Amino acid sequence: MSDEFKPDAVSDDYSEQIAFWTMVGAILSGEAAVKAGKQRYLPKFVSETDAQYAARLEHSPFTNIFGDISKNLASKPFSKPLEMGKGATDQHKKLAENIDGQGNNLHVFGSVVFKSALEKGIDWILVDYTRARPRADGKPLTLADEREQGLRPYWVRIPCESMVAVYSVFIGGVETIYHARIRECGVEVDDNLKETKVDRIRFLKRELIRDEMLNVVGLGPAVWELWEQRTGTDGKTAWTMVDSGPITIGVIPLVPVVFGKRRGGSWVVEPPLRDLAHMQMTEYRQESNLEWVKIMTCFPMLCISGMSENDDAGKPRKIAVGPNAAFIIPPNQNGTGPAGEAKFVEPSAGSIKENREQLELTRKEMRDLGMQPLTQSALTVVTTANVSKKASSAVQAWAYLFQDALEQAWKLTGMWLGQTIEPEIVVHTDFAVEMESGNELDAIIKAVAAGLISKETGFDELKRRMTIVTERTFEEEQELIAGEQQGMEGEEEIDPRTGQPIKKEPADV
C-alpha cells in the first residue's frame, strides 16, 4: 500500500460544503461556538489591533434567530407521532420502538434526522445489522442463536459532516451508491483511565463492472472495511485496515435524506435554509457593531482646554472626575478670566439609532423568510419511485421527501430480515390549519347548520383542527348523543314567585 493512500481523504463535494455545515453547526451550538470562529464570522476592522478586536469580540452578543426558526419548521411534521401504516408487521412495530438500538423510537430518531437535513440540506441513514458471534461447532446460527445474541437490524444516523465521500452511478435507470467513506471517531480508555482519541474510517464499496467500451454495466458484491489510524513504535502514524467483511444483503444500505436541490449528479446540495443562515451571521455582525457603538458613545467625555498635560513637577497631570471631586483652572496671564475651560462632550446618538433600525430590519426579514416555507403558494411536486404528491408548502414537500426516505430505510431493513414487505410510514403533513385566522370554525358550524356540508364532514374538520380531541368515530359520537337524549322529558313551567311547577288543569273535552 503506497504512502499516498489516505482513507480519510475527503471528496470535492464534501470540501465545497463543509464551510457552510461548520457555520450552521456553530450557529446551533450558540454564542460560545460562534465567537470561537473569531474572524471567520466577525472580521476585524481596518487598523484594529488584536487587543481592540479581542475586546470587541468579548462584548459581541449573539441572538439565535436561525435556531428558533429551524426548530419551529422542523417540528411541524412531528406535532403528531410518526405511525407505521399499511404492511407493517408486529416485528416492524417492535423494531420501531427502538429503531437505533439506543432506546430511541422511530419518531425521536426521525425528528433528529429531519431537523439536520433541513438545516444543512442533507443527512444520512445507515441501515446496519448487529454482528453475529459464530458458533463454537462452526454450524450456521439457528433462530434461537440469533435471538440469544440479540441480532437485529438497526438504524444509524450519519451526519453530513461524517460522510467524507460518497459516489453513485445509474444502473438500469436507478441511482445506486457504489462507494462511501464514513468518519468514525471514538475514545478508548486504558487501565490507567487515560483517554486516547481513535480515528477510524469505514468503507462501504462495490466494484464497478465495465464493458469493452468502459461503460458501467453492473456492480460487484458489497463489502465493508474499517481503517484505523495508529501510531507505531517509531512515533509515526499510519492507516491500517483492522476489520472487513461482506455486506450480505448485496447493496450499500445507505439512504440519503435530501431536502435541498442537488447539483447535477453530484452530492452537492443547496440547503433550503442557506440564505437564512447567512442572514444570521449578518445579524450577528450588526448586533456586534451596535453593541460596540453603544460602548464607545454611551459615556460623555471630559474635554479640558488651556491646561497642560503635566503638572508643575513635570509628571502627567491626574484629574479626578465624578461626585465629590473638583479641579481648579487658574486665571490667564491678563487676569481677565480662566486660562481655559472644561466641558463634557457627548457623542450624538444618531449612529446608535441607525444601527438599531438596520438590525431590526434584518431580524424582520429573517422572520419573514422563515415563514415562507409554511405559506408559499407555489405548489411543489415531489416525485420519486414510490410517491408523487402535491405540496401546498415547502414544509409539506420536505415531509413527503422524508416519508419516502423512511420507507426506503424500511425496505433495506426488510432485506436484512429476509422480507419483501415494505411498510408505509404516515408522516403528518396537514399544516394548513395551523396558519388559519380562526374564523374557519364559525364557517364550519354555519355550513353544517345551513346544510351545505354534512354533520360528519363538520365533525371530521373539527377533529382535524384538534378543536375536539377524541379517538371516537362520527358514528360512535352519534350513539353517545342519542344515549344522552334518550328518556329526557320536556321542561316544565315554573312559577316565578314560588319556584314550584305550575299545575295545569286538564283540558275540557
pLDDT tens digits, 111-163: 999 999 999 999 999 999 998 777 666 666 666 666 666 689 999 999 999 99
Residue-wise pLDDT tens digits, 478-489: 777 777 776 555
The reported pLDDT for the residue numbered 481 is 78
The residue behind cell 463543509 is 18
8 Å CB contact between 413 and 437: no
305-342 burial, b at 16+ Cβ within 10 Å, e below that, comes to eebeeeeeeeeeeeeeeeeeeeeeeeeeeeeeeeeeee
The reported pLDDT for the residue numbered 389 is 54
The reported pLDDT for the residue numbered 131 is 81
User: Pairing mode, if any, of strands 223-231 and 216-219?
Assistant: unpaired
The reported pLDDT for the residue numbered 124 is 98
The reported pLDDT for the residue numbered 383 is 45
- Domains in the chain: boundaries: 12-279+373-407, 436-483
Other C-beta atoms closer than 10 Å to the C-beta of 116 total 25
The reported pLDDT for the residue numbered 472 is 74
The CA distance from 268 to 275, in Å, is 16
The CA distance from 230 to 108, in Å, is 36
The CA distance from 360 to 188, in Å, is 49
The reported pLDDT for the residue numbered 440 is 67
Q: Hey, what's the cell of 395?
A: 414544509
Rg of the Cα trace of the chain?
A: 35
The CA distance from 171 to 440, in Å, is 50
Exposed / middle / buried, residue 236 (Cβ in 10 Å: 0-12, 13-18, 19+): exposed
The reported pLDDT for the residue numbered 182 is 97
Query: Which residues of the chain have a pLDDT value below 50?
Result: 1, 377-388, 436, 509
8 Å CB contact between 269 and 263: yes
With CA atoms as reference, report the closest residue to 23 among 372, 256, 291, 284.
284
DSSP notation for 141-153: PPHHHHHHHT--E
Helical packing angle, 274-297 and 12-29, nearest 10°: 50
> What residue spans of 235-313 are helical by DSSP H?
274-297
With CA atoms as reference, report the closest residue to 259 among 403, 387, 163.
403
Q: Hey, what's the cell of 63?
A: 441572538
The reported pLDDT for the residue numbered 468 is 62
The CA distance from 71 to 395, in Å, is 12
> What residue spans of 213-330 are helical by DSSP H?
274-297
Exposed / middle / buried, residue 74 (Cβ in 10 Å: 0-12, 13-18, 19+): buried
The DSSP H or E segment spanning 344 is strand 341-345
The reported pLDDT for the residue numbered 508 is 58
The CA distance from 165 to 177, in Å, is 11
